[in-house]
A and B are shown apart, each in its own frame.
Chain A
Amino acid sequence: MLSKRIIPCLDVREGRTTKGIKFKDNVDIGDPVEMARFYYENGAEEIVFYDITASSDKRDIMIDVVRRVAETIFIPFSVGGGIRTVDDMRRVLLAGAEKISINSAAILNPDLISQGAKAFGNQCVVLGMDVKFTGKSHSIPSGYEMVINGGRKQMGIDALEWAQRAESLGAGEICLNSIDADGTQNGYEIVLTELISSQVSIPVIASGGAGKPEHLLDVLTRGCADAALIASMVHYGAYSIPEIKSFLHAGGVKVRSTW
């Protein structure tokens, strides 16, 4: 049987890892290549890099980071942020990433999902979803709505419908981020995660709200997630990945125990 995946997420701005709360107030927390090496050595199954570099003329810095990460760690990693075209995808994949993640660009241009899947295979295309609970309505039957710009702009698109459409367009995986839970460290959005995970047949990575190992146990069991994204709880040393895995193992979750 497959192990549940633990995936540290690194936000990278102009070549440095940063961490912000609800997409605001970013502080420098280290070199992304060294942090990737540390998490690789400590048993991460995968790593997610999210490029939050504001200006497009500094995007090449990220390509260089991807290249150096690929020479350093030998597990899959994905890169998101600023990917708007098939050419953007190609550059990141050729630099050594296993997968690319697209979010608002896919909402604005859903064909990007099918173009990426056709060019590189479904397994390379991760759909990033930023979701906010806005209440059930005629246009949002699930109550969960797609948002962009860190939650500042509501798109009038139902999250469940979008996830299913993206799957049919060829997305190989979903990284599901709750804007409501993100940065709170109070736990993942279990209801949302279970809703999406049970209605699509591609793997779902839960994101947003991880603060302690109990939160991962919850989202990987009740939430039916295939993987859990973590950030602050490991970036500042509050928990280590082996510690989280021991907790999950004790709770009956299958995790990779040697690496």
Chain B
Amino acid sequence: MIAIIDYDAGNLASVARAVSHLGHANVITRNVDEIRSADRIIFPGVGAAGSAMISLKRLGIDAVLHEAFNQGKPILGICLGTQIIMGYSEENQTRCLDIIPGVVKAFSPDIRDSDGKRLKIPQMGWNRVRPVKYHPVLAGLKETDEFYFVHGFYPEPTYMDHIVGTTHYGIKFASVVGYRNILATQFHLEKSGKPGLALLNNFCWWMP
């Protein structure tokens, strides 16, 4: 059973629908016992880091996520979930879970493309992901595959070793981060067509 964590951070039904479409049993839950008994965890979310951390603490899910990480359970972060597993977010000056050391930064309002044209923030649309190392969850990823991003902040891990994939949007940033049994994507796997579903399916079988 895959637990999709519900912590008042956006609509999680699209993640559940994608996982169900791939044939994996899942449950959207905020119940700590249910999360503890799951084989693997998906930690999604959209919204702001500050209110997300408050909800996580109130529900006691912050401790359960640390526990699951220490037990070696496969965990997938998506979008805000990816930012929340980092150490600290510039958004609302939020102390986060610190599973992967590093900070979450805001895109500079002055980022520009290679022609010098000012880029819109948030980044909203389809962009490529370049793996910087082998990771089983990225198996089969093609250079031309694109993924759906909606974000104004991006993770910046302290250790290069925790960067799994990068994306260009005015700057090069870590769009996939990972450490031991946790992997997290800044883009929405569940909204990225077949390339996204393929990575999501890889995660559902991943044995770290």
Q: A interface, by DSSP: helix, strand, loop or mixed?
A: loop
Interchain Cβ contacts under 8 Å between A and B, 23 examples: A1-B113, A1-B114, A2-B123, A3-B125, A40-B193, A45-B126, A70-B13, A70-B17, A74-B190, A74-B196, A75-B191, A75-B192, A76-B148, A94-B13, A121-B10, A123-B122, A123-B124, A123-B150, A201-B121, A226-B120, A256-B146, A258-B144, A258-B195
Known: A74-B21, A74-B196. A226 touches B125 (CB 8 A): yes
Q: Is the CB of A1 within 8 A of B190?
A: no
A257 at the B interface (CB under 8 A): yes
B168 at the A interface (CB under 8 A): yes
Known: A1-B113, A1-B168, A201-B120. A96 touches B126 (CB 8 A): no
Q: Is the CB of B113 within 8 A of A257?
A: no
A155 at the B interface (CB under 8 A): no
Q: Is the CB of B124 within 8 A of A258?
A: no
A-B contact count (CB 8 A): 78
Rounded to whole angstroms, the CA-CA distance of A2 and B145 in the bound complex is: 12
A98 at the B interface (CB under 8 A): yes
Q: B interface, by DSSP: helix, strand, loop or mixed?
A: mixed
Q: Is the CB of A74 within 8 A of B192?
A: yes
Measured CB to CB, the closest approach of chain B to A249, in angstroms, equals: 11
Known: A121-B46, A257-B144. A2 touches B125 (CB 8 A): yes
Known: A5-B126, A96-B14, A123-B122. A76 touches B191 (CB 8 A): yes
Q: Which listed residue, B142, B169, B191, touches A258 by the CB 8 Å rule?
A: B142
List residues of chain A with CB within 8 A of the CB of B150: 123
A129 at the B interface (CB under 8 A): no
